[in-house]
Amino acid sequence: MLAACGKDNETPEQQQPAVPQIIIDTDICSSTDDLFAMQLLYRYASQGRCNLLGVIVDRMGDTNAAVADLMNNYYGFPSLPIALERNGTYERFSYINYTPIAQATDDDGNLLFARTYSDYSSIPDGYALYRRLLANAADGSVTIMLTGIPSSIANLLASGADQYSSLSGVELVRRKVKRLYFMATKLEPGNDQNVSPGYNIMMHPEAAKALLQMWPDDVDIIISPSAPGNMVEYEPELVISDIDWTDIHPIKQIYMRFDCNTGQRMWDPMLPLQEVEDDGLIGLSPRGRMVMSDDNMVSFIADPEGNCRYQISGDEAWADRMLNLIRKSSFGIRD
């Protein structure tokens, strides 16, 4: 039996849940793939196929939190906790800055989309919400889906005991987290040595190095490189057409108001698709370890005892299947 340590004990009410328990960690408001990953998770949660614990906005700035807030509200989760990174990085480059959507109004001047908060200074820092959610979770039950910058996770790992848990951040992760998905790098079979770290790591390489150095060896990491998502293009015209029943939809409004034809691909949806849909849907590399060099390049070192694997893309038929699955799961579209 575990020694008593406050909220960190598994109680009868905290037995292993039947569906994934997911924390979303997103750099929303740069690329539109974050929106589709979140939409998939909201849909899955509404169907009882997963349980959403909270949303971490891993880029600094209240306007980013406001968009996550309106997404929670639109999809029926107004009470889903939101946190905001306050010790990370401001976006140094944004493919599509759609933060103004949170202030969009109708013809009468009313906000187009409801939000829970009017003042985001009251929401917690990213690492603090992580600590609260993990402390209250069953042991080994939580899946973290990091579709953005690893700022908040790095701060979680560096954190110490607080009102939520007597455990350090590293030990809290070791006890409570089942696996981490991380959308990053350009790893692929035959090209997994000294390759580009990709956008999410380059936005805060120091945080990525802290994550790789401090993450517990016995907790799995699944890297989602850019290659699988590169195969799946959801063209703007098709997105708008697939939401033909209304104009009052956050994704449709973003695609109508902003230029989303910027080479966007369905990178981030690869994470929820693999976790919720089917373990065999997306291929995985053999086990190994991911390391970063001083100049921020990434290598994957094969190791059967390693805690890291990376997703592998398929052929064009696979890409078509993935797009159709995103459309079906998001909007009920059937070809």
How high is the pLDDT of residue 95?
Answer: 86
pLDDT tens sequence for the chain (335 residues) = 222 234 454 443 467 778 999 999 999 998 999 999 999 999 999 999 999 999 999 989 999 999 999 999 999 999 999 999 998 875 567 789 999 999 999 999 999 999 999 999 999 999 999 999 999 999 999 999 999 999 999 999 999 999 999 999 999 999 999 999 999 999 999 999 999 999 999 999 999 999 999 999 999 999 999 999 999 999 999 999 999 999 999 999 999 999 999 899 999 999 999 999 977 899 999 999 999 999 999 999 999 999 999 999 999 999 999 999 999 998 876 65
Domain residue extents for the chain: 16-331
How high is the pLDDT of residue 2?
Answer: 28
How high is the pLDDT of residue 92?
Answer: 62
Instruction: Give bridge partners of residue 312 from the DSSP assignment.
Output: 283
How high is the pLDDT of residue 331?
Answer: 87
Strand bridging mode 177-183 / 142-146: parallel
b vs e for 254-268, b when ≥16 Cβ sit within 10 Å of the residue's Cβ? bbeebebeeebbbbb
Q: Give pTM, 2 decimals.
A: 0.94
How high is the pLDDT of residue 328?
Answer: 93
How high is the pLDDT of residue 198?
Answer: 94
Nearest CA to 260 out of 95, 36, 27 is that of 95
Kindly report each contact of residues 330-334 with a partner whose C-beta sits within 8 Å and lies 24 or more positions away, as own/partner. 330/36, 330/39, 330/40, 330/43, 330/242, 331/242, 331/243, 333/242
CA–CA separation, 197 and 295 (whole Å):
10
CA–CA separation, 45 and 48 (whole Å):
5
Nearest CA to 56 out of 73, 74, 80, 31 is that of 80
Return the CATH number of the domain spanning residue range 16-331: 3.90.245.10
How high is the pLDDT of residue 5?
Answer: 35
How high is the pLDDT of residue 1?
Answer: 24
| Radius of gyration (C-alpha) of the chain in whole angstroms | 19
How high is the pLDDT of residue 265?
Answer: 96
Q: What does the angle CA 92 – CA 201 – CA 99 come to, to the nearest 5 degrees?
A: 40
How high is the pLDDT of residue 333?
Answer: 66
